[in-house]
Structure 1
Amino acid sequence: MGEIANFVAYIYAPAVLVTPLGALSIIVSACLAHFLLNERIQKMGIVGCVSCIVGSVVIVIHAPQEHTPSSVQDIWTLATQPAFLVYVVATLSAVLALVLHFEPHYGQTNILVYLGICSLMGSLTVVSIKAIGIAIKLTLDGMSQIAYPQTWFFLTVAVICVITQLIYLNKALDTFNATLVSPVYYVMFTTLTIIASVIMFKDWSGQNAGSIASEICGFITVLSGTIILHVTREQEPPPPPVGTCRTHHPPSPFWQGKGRNSKL
């Protein structure tokens, strides 16, 4: 239900607004873990939660207005503009370099390899899903977009990008600590998604420098709060080794026993 609501949000609001607000789910998770799982939130963790809320409020206040395209062909025009094509080529080139060269050599030691692939593909996922959402909205309003090949192209791109994200995010979680993966992935994914959305949909077009600066400050505040919340997370004590006992004594060799055959 949450992902469906997030999908709908991309239809009616710019990614510059929707993506950073995903940090609120981290606050909800921390509060639920505190009350339901008895996980203690440290003082700095509370500071991180407050920072996320303050940054989110600043972003909402200065968020740009959404300019909904009138058809999938309009979205295709935005996707084929030179600036965004340069971003797509640079993104795919970076992904290929990470997969073919850096992953075999540094994938098991450097967390930025797996998360870099996830974040780069994730930025393309968001703009594709936003295009699909707008196509669905226009279709429900009576302007069918199913016949356009661009609709199916965006759907194909979204499926490929989502599968790639899942594969390499699972690799990152299998290799590195989740408390490290979560904040780094959130920072990289959110930053690249905002860059892709600003280039393609021109979210900051028509805004003054003060509003853009306020959004950037709010975004940095949210990122700082997210990192603080994860870094100060209470670590669970490791479980005791299986089969250990406080009063355990090693068995004596059989030749140290007493009796008739003790000299054996």
Structure 2
Amino acid sequence: MSVLNDTDNVANSSAPQPALNTSSPGAHRAEILENPLRTYLLGIIISICGNILISISLNIQKYAHVRQSQRDSKPYYTSAVWWCGVALMGIGELGNFAAYGFAPASLIAPLGSVSVIASAVISVIFLKETVRVSDVVGGSLAITGTYVLVTFAPHTITHITAHLIQYYIVSWYFVLYLSLEVLLFCILLYVYKKRNVKHIVVVMLLVALLASLTVISVKAVSGMITETIKGQLQFIYPIFYVMLVIMIASCAFQIKFLNQAMKMFDATEVVPINFVFFTASAIVAGIVFYQEFEGLALLNIFMFLFGCLLSFLGVFLIARNRPKIKQQDPDFIALDKIPSRSHTDKVQPEANTQTYGSLAAKLMCNSASRTRHNS
């Protein structure tokens, strides 16, 4: 009898509802389907394929940069190879976006470790980078952690509708969570901007707090688009466009702070810290907003967190002390380090003059050299 009632509730939830009823949480929980294995696996496969495409695109762009620097000809953005990498990255990001509509956010975010593993493998095979012991150990830990978290992650899939998003967004625990997040963000922004504290943890925490809103909004938009494709129109609800604006704004500011971090710190520091902070914020967002751990056994929670820890450690080992793309020539000696006054006299024009880098500058250097020899 209870099975029939559950079926009726699911059927009723797919019908158009003229008004929002926030007083009956059971009506929204009836939209949850237990163990829809096909949908769950589809989200995992889409996310893995998307992350592999992202890693391929990054290595293609890296190859384009290296080739252009060796040829010393046109800018990198004129290369067809570089644009091919950009296109692949766009497809990969779309795959990650779609995956949030099929699987829990707390599972899709940690699968970003697949991109780091694939990137390390591709760089060794095609870019001829050196295989290190830390790469092998880190890759093994990351693969093991990914398997563990996929196995013990929450398998409950929720139909993301506009009514469900509205119900979640006015819940007291999300209002409290959002208030604390805004307060912490303002404090960190004050420390970063006004106090001029440029520590990597401060910048990455700013990115992580924005990433939490990004994950919530991305899953909401992706889920509502998925429901619309299935036949239940969601574009008529204002909450869809609210989430769309939040998604675009949070992504833009997240990219801004990430670019600042990449300018101030090395990529080997930014990549693992960003992965850990982003994954942690995504898991917390999934737990608080979408209640993805509700009803999950304690053993599953412990093993899921253990799998995340293994992935974190693996990504850290892979990204640690990666070789830089551009390295200074070890045979290069700065001009001011060469003894003898005749070599340290300033004959090169200023960089802000019209003759800098021109034929006139070369003639100036040659004439100065001839004057020295004649004297």
* TM-score under structure 2 length normalisation: 0.63
1:185 and 2:274 matched = yes
Residues 10-59 of structure 1 deviation map (CA, whole Å, 9 limit, x = unaligned)? 11000111111110100110111111211112112210000000000001
Give the 3-state SS of the residue equivalent to 2:235 in structure 1: coil
Tell me how far 1:94 sits from its aligned partner. Answer: 1.3
Q: Which amino acid aligns with 1:175?
A: M
Structure-2 residue corresponding to 1:63: 153
State the alpha-carbon separation in 1 of the partners of residues 305 and 322 from structure 2: 26
- 8 Å CA contact 1:122, 1:162 repeated in 2: yes
Which piece of structure 1 moves more, 42-51 or 72-81?
A: 72-81
1:82 aligned partner, one-letter code: W
Residue-by-residue CA offset, 1:103-132 (whole Å, 9 max, x unaligned): 332443x11121111110001101101000
Please report how far the alpha carbon of residue 140 of structure 1 lies from its aligned counterpart in structure 2 after TM superposition: 1.1
Task: Report Cα offsets for 1:117-165 as digits up to 9, x if no partner.
Answer: 1110001101101000011011111211111011011011111101110
Match of residue 74 from structure 1: 164
Query: What is the CA distance between 1:79 and its match in structure 2?
Result: 2.1
Amino acid at match of 1:231: R
**In the alignment, which residue of structure 2 is the partner of 1:195?**
284
Q: Post-superposition shift, 1:67? A: 2.7
Please list, as runs of the form range in 1=range in 2, the aligned pairs for 1:27-46 lying within 5 A after superposition: 27-46=117-136
State the match for 2:348 in structure 1.
none
Length, aligned pairs only: 252
| Residue aligning to 1:147 | 236
Q: Is the 8 A contact 1:125 1:157 kept in 2?
A: yes
User: Do the aligned partners of residues 70 and 235 (structure 1) sit closer, same or farther apart at CA in structure 2, a change above 3 Å counting?
Assistant: closer
Q: Contact 2:160–2:220 at 8 Å: present in 1 too?
A: no
- 1:105 correspondence with 2:192: no
Structure with higher Rg: it is 2
Higher relative contact order (CA 8 A, sep 6+): 1
Q: Is the 8 A contact 1:58 1:215 kept in 2?
A: yes
The one-character-per-residue Cα deviations of 1:52-74 (angstroms, maximum 9, x if unpaired) are 00000001111212332352111
Pick aligned residue for 1:136 from 225, 228, 234:
225
Question: What letter matches 2:221 in structure 1?
Answer: I
CA RMSD for the aligned pairs?
Answer: 2.3
Contact map agreement 1:44 1:232 (CA 8 A) in 2: no
Segments ≥4 residues shifted beyond 6 Å: none
Q: Which structure 2 residues correspond to residues 178-257 of structure 1 after superposition, within 5 A?
A: 178-234=267-323, 237-240=327-330, 250=340
Which of 138, 142, 167 is 2:256 aligned to? 167
In percent, how many aligned pairs have the same letter?
Answer: 28
After TM superposition, the structure 1 = structure 2 runs for residues 113-132 of structure 1, keeping only pairs within 5 Å, are 113-132=202-221
Gaps of 5+ in 1: 254-263
The answer for the alignment partner of 2:106 in structure 1 is 16
One-letter amino acid matched to 1:132: V
Kept in 1: contact 2:191–2:197 (CA 8 A): no
